[in-house]
Amino acid sequence: MRTIALGRSGLRVPTVAVGCMRIAGMSDKEASTLIHTALERGANFFDHADIYGGGGSEQKFAAALPMNDDMREKVILQSKCGIRPDRYDFSKEHILASVDGILSRLKTDYLDVLLLHRPDPLCEPEEVAEAFDLLKNSGKVRNFGVSNHNPMQIELLARSLSVPLVADQLQLSITNATMISAGVNVNTEGDEAVMRDGSVLDYCRLKDITVQAWSPFQYGFFSGVFVDNPKFPRLNEALGRVAEAHGVSKNTVVIAWLLRHPAHIMPVTGTTNPGRLADCLAAADVTLTREEWYDIYRAAGNRIP
Provide the annotated active-site residues.
52
Neighbouring residues of 140: CB distance < 8 A, sequence distance ≥ 6? 99, 100, 103, 109, 110, 111
CA dihedral 284, 287, 291, 293 (to 10 degrees): 10
| Cα–chain center distance at 150 | 15
Of 49, 48, 50, 19, residue with least CA distance to 34 = 19
Q: CB–CB of 299/289 below 8 Å?
A: no
CB atoms inside a 10 Å sphere around CB 197: 16
Q: Which residues in the chain belong to E strands, given as ranges?
A: 3-5, 12-14, 18-19, 45-47, 76-81, 83-84, 87-88, 113-116, 144-147, 165-171, 210-214, 266-267
- The size of the chain, in residues, is 305
Q: What's the CA gap between 2 and 16, in Å, rounded?
A: 9
Residue 71, H or E segment: helix 69-72
| Phi, psi of 159, deg, nearest 5 | -60, -30
